[in-house]
A and B are shown apart, each in its own frame.
Chain A
Amino acid sequence: MILESRVIVHTAHLSLILQRLSEELLERHPGFHNTVLIGLQPRGVYFLNRLAMVLQARLAVLSNDQSFSSGGSLSESETHGRLSMPAQGALDVTFYRDDFRHRSEPLSAHTTQLPFSLEGKKVILVDDVLFTGRTIRAGLDALLDFGRPDRVEFMVLVSRRLRQEFPIHPDYCGIEVNTHDDERVRVCWDEPEGAHITLIKTTG
């Protein structure tokens, strides 16, 4: 039963976070050479879709930036391809979970869409909330069944401290929050542009 529901990150704040995350991606992956973004189904994909919108808008600004496209501090090879988006995919981890028998409700699977090879790629796995770490653990297993990426990074919008059950930490983190076991964090992508993050207190 829901006792209390409180918005912890409002739309304006969330859009700043998305902008920062896309800047971090641009900074660490110049040109997105051999880089792919893979969202974990289902909610990581919602997050990735929104992030891709922000990233695309940012790339459009950069492509109009004279100093950026001619000269500037970046060499030709670094700017080459910078203006194109990295490929995106969706990964379903349902059949890789180790906790499917411990849930009160069975999980339903979603579609996996990886329309590219993972060989030699830099993969950034994207999910909305990091809690126990079991989803991303299953995600790594699922990912490696599709090939051998060069490296794997992990981006999360919300990292819930205090309750991680695996030694897993995100490479990119939108916001860290302190939560209790009886609380849930839900990211709501309800409006076409806006979104917010809610902290929900429940019983049991």
Chain B
Amino acid sequence: MKALAQANLISIRDLSAEEIDLIFTTADHFKEVINRPIKKVPSLRDTTIANLFFESSTRTKLSFELAEKRLSADVVNFSASGSSVSKGETLVDTVRNILAMKVDMVVMRHPDAGACQFLARNISCPIVNAGDGAHEHPTQALLDAFSIRENMGTVQGKRVAIFGDILHSRVALSNIFCLKALGAEVMLCGPATLMPRGIEELGLYVTNHVREALEWCDVANVLRIQLERQETRYFPSLREYTREFGINRKLLDEIKKEIVIMHPGPINRGVELSSDVADSGRSIILQQVENGVAIRMAVLYLLSTRPQQID
């Protein structure tokens, strides 16, 4: 088992534990590459990759772009604002037009869940999902699990608690699938209004008490409270959220055990995570960002080297 079975990376559910492990060992090598004086290898110099971002993104877009450039791929960027999308062009038409200019691979973020799946049925080149609505964000889940593996040696048997807005989070869903596939135990913690109904059927624990989750877990993955969704009033106020669900130094000191703190970014300092925790030695947030480039390099490399591509 040395290659990925699927031509695309759309959902973590498409990957076996073995394939995730292949991505991790490949990413180990790329992490070494990006720490060299010349952070670049020529593997994908014959490949052109289009980054299609139909939804705004800073970190993920930069991370993918750096990963592509460090593999020597040619990169074209597309963002929905100011494009023909606003003139009413359909998704498939937009992408077909871009592919007609001889693009070999597509990385796409889209506000609608299932957009990548839909696109994969209509075009033939490999697609990497960089986040589709509230559905999945597979490379984020991979880099999170990779960071856990790096800090704790393995993901198997570890207890990972995910805090915050589970309902709207593609990071949460992809993380759940990835962690379960790798044999970790998962607990979700957040306000009942932000907990998807029936989520515990995926075989995980659900709680509304931060302290309970912190006492249970080895790793706390704290998600961002999406301030832009605050009009719907999932909780009374940000201040109340912070008081009930915010993670701070005092709380962690009371737990009396070492917990690894993760956050997919961007952080709302002082809301879901206090500054002293985010900047403490327990936090591996910047390590996650570094690993993101290595993981994305591994995914792009493995997708483009699948032997089935030989004509």
Chain A positions within 8 Å of B, measured between CB atoms, are 92, 94-97, 100-112, 141-142, 145-147
Contact = CB atoms under 8 A, between A and B. Distances in A.
Nearest to B43: A95
B163 interface: no
B202 to A, nearest CB: 32
Given A111-B29, A146-B37, A146-B38, A95 B301 contact: yes
Interface in B41-67: 41-43
Interface stretch (B7-15, B204-212, B275-283, B302-310): B302-310
Nearest to A108: B2
B168 interface: no
A11 B36 CA distance: 39
A112 B29 CA distance: 8
A119 B23 CA distance: 33
The DSSP consensus for interface residues of chain A is loop
B37 A147 contact: yes
Given A104-B310, A105-B3, A141-B42, 12 more contacts: A95-B42, A95-B301, A100-B305, A101-B305, A106-B3, A107-B305, A109-B25, A111-B29, A145-B36, A145-B37, A145-B41, A146-B38
6 contacts: A96-B42, A105-B2, A106-B3, A108-B26, A145-B36, A145-B40
The DSSP consensus for interface residues of chain B is loop
Contacts of A112: 29, 32
Contacts of A145: 36-38, 40-41
Interface string B17-41: 0000000011001001100111011
Given A111-B29, A147-B37, A105 B43 contact: no
Contacts of B29: 92, 94-95, 109-112
A97 B38 CA distance: 17
B41 A95 contact: yes
A107 B302 CA distance: 10
A18 B310 CA distance: 40
Contacts of A146: 36-38
A111 B40 CA distance: 16
Nearest to A110: B29
Contact of B305 (A96, A106, A111, A141): A106
Interface string B270-311: 000000000000000000000000000000011011110110
A16 B271 CA distance: 71
Q: Name the 8 nearest CB pairs between A and B, nearest first.
A: A95-B41, A109-B29, A145-B38, A95-B43, A106-B3, A106-B2, A106-B305, A100-B305
A108 B305 CA distance: 11
Contacts, number: 55
Contact of B310 (A96, A101, A142, A147): A101
A115 B79 CA distance: 43
Interface range, B side = 20 to 34
Interface string B171-215: 000000000000000000000000000000000000000000000
A104 B309 CA distance: 10
Contact of B41 (A96, A102, A105): A96
A139 to B, nearest CB: 13
A108 B26 CA distance: 8
Contacts of A107: 305
Nearest to B41: A95
A199 B307 CA distance: 27
A97 B42 CA distance: 8
A159 to B, nearest CB: 26
Contacts of B26: 108-109
B307 A106 contact: yes
A118 B286 CA distance: 30
Contacts of A101: 304-305, 309-310
Contacts of B36: 145-146
Contact of A95 (B3, B33, B306): B33
A194 to B, nearest CB: 30
Most chain B Cβ neighbours within 10 Å, of A92, A103, A108, A111:
A108
B133 to A, nearest CB: 32
B307 A105 contact: yes
A32 B26 CA distance: 35
A101 B304 CA distance: 8
Nearest to B42: A96
